[in-house]
Amino acid sequence: MADAQSNFGSFEELAIPLFARLYNFAHWLTQDQSEAEDLVQETCLKALKGFASFQQGTNFRAWMYRILRNTFLTSRSGLKSTTVSLDEEEDDSVEPIASGTPESILLASVEQQTVQGVLEGLSVQFREIILLCDVEEMSYQEIATTLAIPIGTVMSRLSRARRAMRESLIQARAQGASREVSR
Amino acid sequence: MTCEEVRNKLEPYADSELSAGELAEFEPHLRNCASCAADALGLLQIKRLTRAAGLRYSPTPDFRLRMEQSIRSKSKTPWWSIRFPKLITAAVAVAVLLASVIIWQSHAERDRAYTELADMHVAALASTNPVDVISTDRHTVKPWFAGKLPFSFDLPELQNSDFTLVGGRVAYFEHASGAQLLFTVRKHQMSVFIFRQQSESIPFSMGTSTSTKLAFHMETWSERGLRYFIISDAPASDVNALSKLLRGAAH
C-alpha cells in the first residue's frame, strides 16, 4: 500500500482543485443545491478517511468521482432516481451514428438553456455518462473506473445516451420552432 | 475505410479515443467524404454544446470556503488522530498500545472494505441492470468472466439448495478488477465478491471473519489466492451456508 500523503501530494493538494467540478457533477446528479452540498461534503469526508489506501500512480480524479457517485446512489434521492429509471436492457453493441442527418448540423444553433433542459430530462444513468465524457472530458478508461463497468459498456451506454439526447434535442427544437410560427 | 466503418468509429473519434494508426486511416476518409464529415462535425458540435451547457453549477463562495477550510484542517491531521489523539500519543511511547493500534488499524481497514463492498452491493441492487451476464447456470456465468479477469474461480452446484444464481458482473474494488456474483435465497439478494488476494488493495489482515455492518451480514475468507466476500441482508445462517457451498466448490 502506498504512502499517498508522503509520496503523491497531500489530500488537500489533490482534492481542492477538483472541488468546483465535483460540485457541478453533484448538482447535476441531485438537481438540488442543498443535496449537492451534502453529497460533496460526504464524499470529501469518505475520501479523506480512505486516502491512506489510495494507491500512488492510480487516478485520483476517477477515485473521487467514484466515491461521489456511490454515495449518491446510496442516498435517498439516488435510490429514488435509479429505481424509477426505465432504461432498456444494457448490451455492448454500439450503434453507428445515423448518416445524412442534417438535424445534427441544425442542432448547433440550439440554445444552451435547451441543452440543459434536455440533460436534466435524461435518466441518471445517461446523464452521468454524458457529463463524465463531454463535460469532465474523462477517457473511456477513467469512466469505466468511475462507474465500475467494462469499457465496452461505457461505449454502448454512451452511444445510447447520446442518441437519447439527440432525439430529445430535435424534439425540443421542433417544439420551439412551432411556438415561433404560432406567434 | 468505408463510410460504415467510419460511422462505427465516429464517437471514439470525437472523444479522442482512436489510436494514431486508426486516425491515419480515419482522417483521409473524412477529408474526401462530405457525408461522413458532416456527421463528425455534427457530433463535435453537440459535444461542444454539451460541455458549455454542462458547466452550469458553481459552489457558493461560502460553501467553497467552508469546505476548503475543513479539508485543510483535516488533511493536516490524520482523521484517526482527530478521533483518538490520546491513543496516538500513548502508542508512540508504549509498545503495548502500539500493538493495539495495529489491531485497530486492521479493523478500520476491514470496516472500510466492508463499507465499500456494501456500497457496491446496494448500487448493484439499485441498478436497472444489476448484472452483465444473466444466467442461473454456473457453466454460463463462469466462462463469461474468461478474459475479463486475471484469475478464474469455481462455482458450486446449487440444484439441491435454497440458493439461485442470478448472474454476474465485473466489479472494481479500489482499482482491482474482480467478480461480483448475485444470488438469491428466498426473497433476499446476496452479493459474492471475488478478488485476487495478491491485490494490494485487498486488506491482507482480514483473515476469515463474519461481521454485521449497516444491517448487512458479511463473511470473508481467503482460498487458493482468492479473497471472497459475501454481503447480504439475508440471515447470517444463509450467508454462512452459501460460504460453505463456495468453499466446497473451490476444492
Q: Which residues of B109-135 are buried (b: 16+ CB within 10 A; e: fewer)?
A: bbebbbbbbbbbbbbbebbebbbbbbe
Instruction: Calculate helix-pair angle for A60-73, A76-83, nearest 10 degrees.
Output: 80
Domain boundary among A51, A68, A84: A84
Number of domains into which chain A is organized: 2
CA distance linking residue A115 with residue A172, whole number of Å:
9
A183 and A117 belong to one structural domain: yes
A29 and A63 belong to one structural domain: yes
A44 and A122 belong to one structural domain: no
Is there a contact between B129 and A37 if contact means CB atoms under 8 Å apart? no
Per-residue pLDDT at B111: 72
Strand segments, DSSP code E, in chain A are: none
A61 and A99 belong to one structural domain: no
A160 and A80 belong to one structural domain: no
Is there a contact between A53 and B174 if contact means CB atoms under 8 Å apart? yes
Cβ(B181)–Cβ(B165) below 8 Å: yes
Domain boundary among A67, A84, A101: A84
CA distance linking residue B58 with residue A116, whole number of Å:
15
A108 and A177 belong to one structural domain: yes
Q: Beta partners for B229? A: B193, B220
A96 and A182 belong to one structural domain: yes
CA distance linking residue A45 with residue B70, whole number of Å:
9
Per-residue pLDDT at B230: 92
The mean pLDDT of B134-159, rounded to a whole number, is 88
Instruction: Name which residue leads in pLDDT, A33 or B113.
Output: A33
Interface A:B, Cβ pairs < 8 A: 198
Longest dimension (CA), chain A: 66
Best to test chain B binding among A34, A135, A159, A173 (most B CBs inside 10 Å): A135
Report the CATH number at residue A6: 1.10.1740.10
Cβ(B124)–Cβ(B191) below 8 Å: yes
A50 and A66 belong to one structural domain: yes
Q: Which residues of A28-59 are buried (b: 16+ CB within 10 A; e: fewer)?
A: bbbeeeebbbebbbbbbbbbbbbbbbbbeeeb
For residue B172, is pLDDT > 60?
yes
Nearest chain A Cα to B105, which residue?
Answer: A52
Is there a contact between B74 and A58 if contact means CB atoms under 8 Å apart? no
CA distance linking residue A18 with residue A47, whole number of Å:
13
Q: How confident is the model at residue B132 (pLDDT cuts 50, 70, 90)?
A: confident
CA distance linking residue A111 with residue A101, whole number of Å:
19
Grid coordinates of A69: 457517485
Report the CATH number at residue A141: 1.10.10.10
Per-residue pLDDT at B205: 47
* B54: nearest Cα among A126, A167, A40: A126
Give the list of residues 6+ apart from residue A45 with CB closer than 8 angstroms, or none.
none
Residue B162, Cβ density class (10 Å: 0-12 exposed, 13-18 middle, ≥19 buried): middle
Nearest chain B Cα to A113, which residue?
Answer: B53
Instruction: Name which residue leads in pLDDT, B49 or B100.
Output: B49
The mean pLDDT of B39-48, rounded to a whole number, is 86
For residue B53, is pLDDT > 50?
yes
A104 and A182 belong to one structural domain: yes
Q: Among A20, A63, A110, select the one facing B59 at the smallest CB separation.
A: A20
The mean pLDDT of B189-213, rounded to a whole number, is 69
A11 and A51 belong to one structural domain: yes
A109 and A174 belong to one structural domain: yes
Looking at beta carbons, which residues of chain A come within 8 Å of B39? 97-101, 104
Closest approach of B159 to chain A, Cα-based (Å): 28
Tens-binned pLDDT, residue by residue, of chain A (183 aa)? 334 444 456 888 888 889 999 999 999 999 999 999 999 999 999 998 888 877 777 789 999 999 999 999 888 776 776 654 444 445 666 666 555 455 555 566 678 889 999 999 999 999 999 999 999 999 999 999 999 999 999 999 999 999 999 889 888 877 776 665 565
Amino acid making up residue B217:
H
Looking at beta carbons, which residues of chain A come within 8 Å of B42? 101, 104-105, 107-108
CA distance linking residue B9 with residue B26, whole number of Å:
9
Q: Beta partners for B216? A: B213
Q: pLDDT exceeding 90 applies to what percent of chain B? A: 20
Looking at beta carbons, which residues of chain A come within 8 Å of B50? 115, 119, 130, 134-135, 165
Is there a contact between A70 and B47 if contact means CB atoms under 8 Å apart? no
Cβ(B72)–Cβ(A12) below 8 Å: yes
Radius of gyration of chain A (CA): 19
Domain span at residue A140 reads: 91-183
Q: Where are the domains of chain B?
A: 3-54, 61-93, 107-249
Give the list of residues 6+ apart from residue B15 with CB closer than 8 angstroms, or none.
A133, A139, A140, A158, B47
pTM, entire model: 0.56
Looking at beta carbons, which residues of chain A come within 8 Å of B53? 112, 115-116, 119
Is there a contact between B49 and A15 if contact means CB atoms under 8 Å apart? no
A62 and A125 belong to one structural domain: no
Give chain B's mean pLDDT.
81
Domain boundary among A34, A50, A84: A84
Best to test chain B binding among A7, A25, A74, A93 (most B CBs inside 10 Å): A74
Task: Tell me the CATH number for domain B107-249.
Answer: 3.30.200.100
Looking at chain A, the number of H-run helices and the number of E-run strands are: 11, 0
The predicted-structure confidence for B55-64, as pLDDT tens digits, reads as follows: 999 999 999 9
